[in-house]
Amino acid sequence: MHYPWWYVPFLTSPMLIAIISVLHVLVAHYAVGGGLFLAVETQYAYRYNHREYLAYLKEHAWFFILITVVYGAITGVGIWWTIGVASPLATQTLIHIFVFGWAMEYVFFVLEIVSAFIFYYFWGRLDPKTHVRIGWIYAGSAWMSLVLITGITAFMLNSGQWPEERTFWAGFLNPQFVPQVFARTGGAFLLASLYVYLHATFKAKDPALRDLIAARSARPALLGALLIILGGIGWYLALPESAKAALIAASTLNILVVLIFAVTIAVFFMLYLGPYRNPGWLSPGFAILFFTFGLVAITTGEYIREAVRKPYIIYNVVLGNQVYAEKVPELRRTGYLEGGTWTKAWVAHHYPQVLNNDRIDPAQLLALPEEDQVKLGEVLFLYHCNDCHAGRRGFSAVAQLIRGWTPDMVRTVVEHPEKAHFFMPPWAGTPEEAELLTKYLLRIAHPRPAGMYFGEEK
Ligand code: HEC
């Protein structure tokens, strides 16, 4: 590991990625679907010279720009900041493999921003044909952004041929690419309609206009729900074996999968019975309920998509604790502390006595005073485990997980985490380092809860 550690108490730093990403994704899909909505609907309103609808669309375009360009761009940059410090090795790897993809994405991003501003600020000053054309340029470049980013993020879940054939296209056209483009395009359609309903129920005053909007946006939303289901099935089929196993083994994920199916089906029927068959039903309350369901479904979907990736951040390439999978055997021989630029420097600075020919001597580590061994155990914990577990308390706190365990049990988990749970990365240090980490864990472990003693001594 060639980066310093970002310690975030209680939450753990990768959870910050999850939070900012969900906040971003809820708008990023609207940025794509809403662009299509604006292009298609302004074209329709011009064709039938529907002045009221055009006026509404202009108002929607302002809302759209505020939400997608301002909020979307800020959270998008926020993702880069967060992944850069919380998950530097994986970020570095994705940048190196996909330089060309990021460059293309940047071009489309600039096109998006420029066309969105022209579309809104030159409203009424361009002839209808050019105006609609700008709308389509926006929609096309926004969808291309979706395709490019999906290729790269899908790679993280199943890197496919890449570890054997290390080329851009082998990585980009990974098995998860097509299913995820389907699901995300569907998500863009569906979410855009939900945003439109939310906006229109408050802003479109004329009931006839509201009914028109409700009816016209129902079809893309229904199509979106179908694409999500199709893409979801493809996503499942293209999962690596360990991800399928994780989905089946983890009880939280079982529940979430049922939840997402239930919510998607509910949204589908609500759409069909509401806006599609009975546009007049669409009230602000209905729109808010719809929108909430959409947010729940998308958030849950993203959570599941991410959760099954363990023990990897990038499948077969970077492990969940920022270690290259191929480096594990070497680290087991030479030591985790020796293998990391920052851990090595830290040890050399604080405990020069453990160095032997400028290398950390594992045997010397166990000759240190007990308190120093615990301290080194904490360093190992932060680098090796803190990506997924808080320490004493917080998200999946390890001190809670090992409540009341015997020292042998703790030591076994430390030496073979991947055998305790296949979704934990393997131990990547020497047996002596495992001893240090065990000492630290036993120091912070909570006692067994009261009442959990069955005639034994505490
Ligand atoms: C890539 C993520 C990840 C990393 C890194 C990781 N774990 Fe885990 N670990 C998990 C998950 C997920 C679980 C299951 C949690 C649950 O059931 O709540 C788990 C469970 C555990 C448990 C409970 C095991 C049981 O049988 O109930 C212990 C103890 C544990 N981890 C210790 C560690 C230690 C020590 C390290 C570092 C050497 C570590 N983990 C690194 C993901 C990880």
User: Which of 191-200, 262-271, 313-322 comes out lowest in average pLDDT?
Assistant: 262-271
Q: Does the Cβ of 429 fall within 6 Å of ligand 1?
A: no
Same domain, 340 and 313: no
Torsional class of 456: left (φ above 0), alpha (ψ -120 to 50), beta (otherwise): beta
Per-residue pLDDT at 376? 98
Six token digits for residue 433: 């380092």
Tell me the average pLDDT across 25-47: 97
The CB-based long-range contact list for 146-151 (8 Å cut-off, 24+ gap) reads 146/28, 146/29, 146/32, 146/181, 146/184, 146/185, 146/188, 147/181, 148/101, 148/104, 148/105, 148/108, 149/105, 150/177, 150/180, 150/181, 150/184, 151/98, 151/101, 151/177, 151/181
The CA distance from 50 to 47, in Å, is 8
Same domain, 229 and 193: yes
Closest CA to ligand 1's atom 2: 388
Yes or no: say if 227 and 189 are a contact pair by the CB < 8 Å rule: yes
Considering 300, 319, 338, which residue would you say is the last residue of a domain?
319
Question: Look-up: residue for tokens 């939280």?
Answer: 252
Per-residue pLDDT at 453? 80
Same domain, 401 and 353: yes
Count how many domains the chain has. 2
Q: How confident is the model at residue 455 (pLDDT cuts 50, 70, 90)?
A: confident
Q: How confident is the model at residue 361 (pLDDT cuts 50, 70, 90)?
A: very high
Same domain, 335 and 230: no
Per-residue pLDDT at 457? 67
Q: What is the pLDDT of residues 103-114, one digit of tens each?
A: 999 999 999 999
Six token digits for residue 335: 């030591």
User: Which of 25-34, 177-186, 294-303, 363-372 comes out lowest in average pLDDT?
Assistant: 294-303
Closest CA to ligand 1's atom 36: 385
pLDDT exceeds cutoff 90 at 451:
no
Q: Which atom of ligand 1 is nearest to the CA of 396?
A: 18
Per-residue pLDDT at 454? 84
Six token digits for residue 95: 């940048």
Same domain, 382 and 242: no
Considering 301, 319, 337, which residue would you say is the last residue of a domain?
319
Structural domain boundaries, residue 432: 328-444
129-143, 260-274, 440-454, range with greatest mean pLDDT: 129-143
Q: What is the pLDDT of residues 363-389, one digit of tens each?
A: 999 999 999 999 999 999 999 999 999
Q: How confident is the model at residue 261 (pLDDT cuts 50, 70, 90)?
A: confident
CA distances from 36 to 49, 61, 124, 189, 377 (A): 19, 12, 19, 8, 54
Same domain, 312 and 357: no
* 283 CB-side CA count, 13 A: 3
- Which of 424, 440, 441 best tests ligand 1's pocket when mutated (most atoms within 8 Å of CB)? 424
Considering 302, 319, 336, which residue would you say is the last residue of a domain?
319
Distance (angstroms) between ligand 1 centre and the Cα of 422 equals: 10
Same domain, 298 and 349: no
Yes or no: say if 412 and 420 are a contact pair by the CB < 8 Å rule: yes
Same domain, 436 and 419: yes
Q: How confident is the model at residue 218 (pLDDT cuts 50, 70, 90)?
A: very high
Count Cβ neighbours within 10 Å for each residue of 356-380 and write b for 16 or more, e otherwise.
eeeebebeebeebeeeebbbbbbbb
Distance (angstroms) between ligand 1 centre and the Cα of 73 equals: 35
Same domain, 302 and 347: no
The CA distance from 342 to 336, in Å, is 11
Same domain, 276 and 340: no
Same domain, 228 and 270: yes
Q: Does the Cβ of 413 fall within 6 Å of ligand 1?
A: yes
Asked if residue 209 is part of any domain, the answer here is yes
Instruction: Tell me the residue type at 284.
Output: P
Asked if residue 454 is part of any domain, the answer here is no
Per-residue pLDDT at 306? 79
Closest CA to ligand 1's atom 9: 424
pLDDT exceeds cutoff 90 at 414:
yes
Distance (angstroms) between ligand 1 centre and the Cα of 388 equals: 7
The CA distance from 433 to 377, in Å, is 7
| pTM: predicted TM-score of the whole model, two decimal places | 0.94
Same domain, 187 and 253: yes
Q: How confident is the model at residue 458 (pLDDT cuts 50, 70, 90)?
A: low
Asked if residue 453 is part of any domain, the answer here is no
Comparing 455 with 428, which gets the higher pLDDT? 428
Q: Does the Cβ of 414 fall within 6 Å of ligand 1?
A: yes
Q: How confident is the model at residue 305 (pLDDT cuts 50, 70, 90)?
A: confident
Phi, psi dihedral angles at 70 (to 5 degrees) = -75, -65
Q: Does the Cβ of 421 fall within 6 Å of ligand 1?
A: yes
Q: Does the Cβ of 320 fall within 6 Å of ligand 1?
A: yes
The CATH number for 430's domain is: 1.10.760
How high does pLDDT run on average in the chain?
Answer: 95
Q: How far from each other are the two terminal CA atoms of the chain, in whole angstroms?
A: 40
Distance (angstroms) between ligand 1 centre and the Cα of 438 equals: 14
Asked if residue 22 is part of any domain, the answer here is yes
The CA distance from 142 to 385, in Å, is 38
